[in-house]
Structures are given as structure tokens and as C-alpha cells.
Structure 1
Amino acid sequence: MKLEIKHWQMLRAISELGNVAQAADALGISQSALSHRIAEAERRLGGKLFEKEGRRLKLTPAGSLITKATLQTLPILERAETDFESNASLNNQVVRLGVASYSCYYWLPDFIKFVNQNTSNLKIRLVASATQNPISSLQHGSVDIVIAPGHLATPGISQTPLFIDELILVTPYLDPLSSKDFIEAEDLRDKHYYTYSQTVLPGFEYDRFISPSGIIPQQLEIVEMTDAIIELISAGLGVSILSKWAVSAALKTQRISSTKLGSKGLDLAWSALTRESEKKGSPSKQLATLLARWYKTM
């Protein structure tokens, strides 16, 4: 074979995350190193994998073919390794866990402790890249379970209800908007507004709160990491609408403040997503059950 595993992983990362910066982040290398890796793969193959389209990379027809093979093959190999780990030791069943939409993991240490107290054979491996493409990650087998907000009904995916959350306006600490009982979309008109996604998701803030009002914030900026949005807001640079669960750690430390959306608020249900093909009692199904039990104690 002309390519090494690092090249196949590179192709998947760029395909799933959409740009070089995020792909380099997910792979744990610099953008420069990723560019060199692309060039090396193209030299070995004797052709172009990508072509530039503005500031983005677009797959060539030949690149699309090999990337399609990558998305089909890598999860099979990774799953084989995980299955080997599980079968090699009854006390080491690895479950790959991701979180959809919001990149927040403050809760993870406490949940791992809960898992360790209640089982002796489940080990959690975090897959941060699942945040951007949760359903695809599950379908391709690169992750075993995803904690996801909203309603993501998809053929072949099972949902285990976890808890009811709330979408809230997040502001700098003690911002004037935080003293209001609730806000309306009009309050966002002149604000610098951060959003974590370019995609309009059904059941989220744009669909249920901003769009129906006909009012769009005049200064809108996309920042694709929840933690980065929190840092910007705590520095007084803008506001955002986020999951209360996702920002609860920052709320507790009084780095930010929050306000309800509309007089009735906007609820947001979270679920654990797994593949329907998983057998009852499989490691991922066990972990979904443990997540539901843990959130009932919170």
C-alpha cells in the first residue's frame, strides 16, 4: 500500500470536519503539518486529492473516491481494535463516547466515577470529533454512543432519553440583560451574537426563537467551539444562546450570566444515541442505561 494509516485518518478528518484547521485540531497536529501530510499523500499516489476553492479545500473526483473508501474502511478497522480489546479482557470493554452540538466535558470525570462504581468492565474513550457529525460518526462506527440535544430521529439510531435542559441567553456576568426576567428576540438586534453552527437545526434557537420574530442580530459571528464562545462572552465581547447544561460550569463560577428566552422559556431534551443494530446488553447500551440512571440522580 502506498498510504499509511495517518493519511487515511487525515482524509476522514478533512471530510468530516470540513476544513484544514478543524481537521488538524482533531488529529493533534498543526495546520502546516497537515498540509505537508496532504502533499506527501498526493506524491505517493501520483495525483491531486484536493483543489482549492477560495479558502477551502475541495476533493477532486479521484479524491472523492478514495475518501469514500476511507469512510467505509477506517471505522471497520477501529471497531476491530475495540472488539479485540473487549474480547482480550473481560474487564476492558471500551465504549467510544461523543457529545453532539456542544463541546463541553466538565461532567465527564463525575460520570466516569459513577461508571466505575457501578460496573467493572466498561471503559470510556472520548471521541471529540463526533461533536460536528454525530449521526455520521455513529453510522460509520467511529463512535459507539453520542449524547445529543434535540430530536434527531434517524433510521437505524436508537434514543435513550436522559434529561430536559433549557436554551438560555448567555451574557457577560451582570450584563443588563441578565437582570430581566426574560428576553425577546428584539433584545438581540444590536448585540454581537455568537453562534456555534452555520446549520439551522430544527428545535434550536434560530428555528424556535429568532426566525419567528423576523429579527436577526446585526453582528453575527460563527465560533465553532462552545468553550471559545464562553471565553469571548465572559470577556464582554458579545452574547449567545446556548444549552444551560453546556454552560452550567461557567455559570457556577460567575464568569457569565443567563436569562430565559421568552416568558415560557425554551426547553431542550437530551438523549443518548446508539445504533439499533447493537445487541441488548452491549457495552454501548449498558452505557446509555448508566447515563440515564446518573442524570436521574443529578
Structure 2
Amino acid sequence: MIERSHLKILREIERQGSLTAAASALNLTQSALSHKITRLEQLLGTPLWLKEGRGLKLTQAGEYLLQEANRLLPQLERVDERLLQFARGERGALNIGMECHPCYQWLLKVVDPFLSRWPGVDVDVTQKFQFGGMAALFNHDIDLLVTPDPIRREGIHFEPVFPYEQVLVVSRDSPLAGLDRVTPDQVAAQTLYTYPVAVERLDIFQQFLLPANCLPRKHKVLEATEMMLQMVAAGRGVATLPLWLVEEYAETLPIVPVRLGEQGIHKHINLGVRTADLHDQHTRAFIGIAAESPPA
């Protein structure tokens, strides 16, 4: 079986022009190199060199193997270098799953310094409202899960990175805009815009409306945050979003945040990671940057 050392012998003899110089470059004695050549030829069942005076001339088989050595060795050396980069943590990939659509702009602020610190590491984001984040994490489809609703399971660790308040977003011209807080029945009289997420995973339903036996007058689904807020600004309905995001958009849109109930709805954004991967340096670095980068 051809080994990498055999290919190196052919390449070095070609480079150095003699057995003596090649042996020196390979840290071998000339006799040891000659022995390796003989063993290789015995292994292949065909000569690779022919003596020509005091030198060596490649046979047809030798020419072929030399061509392959010059083609394969650089590729193998690149593989070695790439694997060494992985071992040093200089290269890799971090796949992130999103179960918090309003957090996308915040995530970009975390990704930017992470990419600067780890230029050899790629970041990919899966942003699907219907995808099973926990299943994806268990199945190694993603490495990190951004979620406001952690599901505690053995083998998964959730790291809270920042708190926020979920608020009602109303038009500046809405009668609700002047209130300190709203009640479930006041929201029930409105058209409610939400992301395309199952009702059982929407805080406005589970923590506010349903406990009060209320439902919105109409429930409409929109995927884009900007479109949702444009509809709210136009007085077409209301929505619920993190306070920090509403305050950011309120600088350019006529919208107002209003607290949901007496105490409000308070949440945390969490990063979920497999317990076995907690000490991965890329994962730890990303969590550390995220914890130092609250959106507000």
C-alpha cells in the first residue's frame, strides 16, 4: 500500500537531484533511503528508478507516481493545516437556531465582533418560526439556540443573556397610547398582529389573554417585523414585541409601547447549548459576547 512517506521520497529526490541530498532533506541516511526505495519497488512489483551512470532515471511507473505525489501531497498538506487550525480553534462553524424573530437585529450585533475575533469560523443562522429548536439542538443540526422560552431537558444547558419586557405596541394616535397599562379585554377589542408562531407559544395568548378568557377581535400573522410595525403605525391593529425593539423603531415610526397588565410580561433571552459542548471555545466565546451585548 502506498503511504505518504513513499510519495515524499519521490518528490524529494526530484527536488534535490540526488539520493544523498534527498536523504539529508528527509532526515535519513543514504543507506536507509536506498532501503526504503527497494522496499517500495518490491511492494509495487515494478522498478521506479533505473541507474544511469551515477544518477537515477525514473521509469514510466516512477514518472506516474511522481506526478501523483506532486498532485496529492499539497492537498494532504492543506488537510493537515486545516485540521491543525481546527485543533487550535482557528477554524470551524457555529450554527445558530433562532426562536426569537425580534432578536435578529440584536444577533447581528453579536455576530459582528465574534467574526472579527474568529476570522476562520463561519456562522450560519436558521430562522424558521415553525422549526423545532430543541430537536435541532439534540440532532446536532444547530450548535446554539436563541430562545425566550427554554425547555429544560437533560443534556441541554440554557444560559440567560439578557432580560426584557414584552409590551403592547400601539399607534401614537390610538386611545390606548395614553395608558400606563392595558387589560386583556382592551387588547381583545383589537386586531392583533403576531409572527407565524403557534398560539401555545405566544406569550400574549398564554400569559395574558387566555387566562382572562379573552381572544383578540382578529388575529393576523405577519413574518416581517417592519411590516407588522407599519400596520400598527397606520392604526390597523396592535402587536406585542420586546420593549427595547419598540423603543428603537419608535424613533422613526409613530408607535408607543404600553405595559401588559399590572406587572407586565418579563422574559429572558436564553442561549441553549448541548451540555457536552459547553466548553467548546467558540460556543463559550459567542455566549460571552452575547452576555456583554444587551440590545438596549
TM-score normalised according to structure 1 size:
0.62
Partner of 2:101: 102
In structure 2, relative to structure 1, the CA distance for the partners of 1:87 and 1:214 (3 Å cut) is same
SS of the residue 1:162 aligns to? strand
State the 1:136 CA deviation: 2.1
Q: Is residue 172–residue 233 contact of structure 1 (8 Å, CA) maintained in 2?
A: yes
- Give the 5 Å matches for 1:103-118: 103-116=102-115, 118=117
C-alpha distance in structure 2 between counterparts of 1:221 and 1:94, whole Å: 37
Partner of 1:54: none
Work out the number of aligned pairs and report it: 214
State the 1:274 CA deviation: 0.9
Partner of 2:149: 150
Q: Is residue 272–residue 288 contact of structure 1 (8 Å, CA) maintained in 2?
A: yes
C-alpha distance in structure 1 between counterparts of 2:83 and 2:224, whole Å: 33
C-alpha distance in structure 1 between counterparts of 2:261 and 2:228, whole Å: 22
In structure 2, relative to structure 1, the CA distance for the partners of 1:112 and 1:169 (3 Å cut) is same
Q: Is residue 150–residue 272 contact of structure 2 (8 Å, CA) maintained in 1?
A: no
Amino acid at match of 2:140: G
C-alpha distance in structure 1 between counterparts of 2:175 and 2:121, whole Å: 46
C-alpha distance in structure 1 between counterparts of 2:85 and 2:235, whole Å: 48
In structure 2, relative to structure 1, the CA distance for the partners of 1:282 and 1:214 (3 Å cut) is same
2:195 aligned with 1:185? no
Gaps of 5+ in 2: 1-81
In structure 2, relative to structure 1, the CA distance for the partners of 1:130 and 1:239 (3 Å cut) is closer
State the 1:118 CA deviation: 4.9
2:228 aligned with 1:229? yes
- Higher CA-based Rg: 2
C-alpha distance in structure 1 between counterparts of 2:126 and 2:272, whole Å: 14
Partner of 2:289: 290
Partner of 2:207: 208
C-alpha distance in structure 2 between counterparts of 1:86 and 1:131, whole Å: 36
Partner of 1:198: 198
Amino acid at match of 2:274: R
Q: Is residue 151–residue 269 contact of structure 1 (8 Å, CA) maintained in 2?
A: no
TM-score normalised according to structure 2 size:
0.62
- CA displacement 1:125-173 (0-9 Å, x = unmatched): 2222377422122122222112211342123221011111111001123
Deviates more, 1:116-125 or 1:238-247: 116-125
Amino acid at match of 2:180: D
- Give the 5 Å matches for 1:8-47: none
- CA displacement 1:241-264 (0-9 Å, x = unmatched): 223245443233234221011122
Amino acid at match of 1:200: E
Amino acid at match of 1:128: Q
Gaps of 5+ in 1: 1-82
State the 1:227 CA deviation: 4.1
- CA displacement 1:37-82 (0-9 Å, x = unmatched): xxxxxxxxxxxxxxxxxxxxxxxxxxxxxxxxxxxxxxxxxxxxxx
In structure 2, relative to structure 1, the CA distance for the partners of 1:115 and 1:254 (3 Å cut) is same
2:134 aligned with 1:129? no
In structure 2, relative to structure 1, the CA distance for the partners of 1:136 and 1:232 (3 Å cut) is farther
C-alpha distance in structure 1 between counterparts of 2:120 and 2:255, whole Å: 39
State the 1:210 CA deviation: 0.8
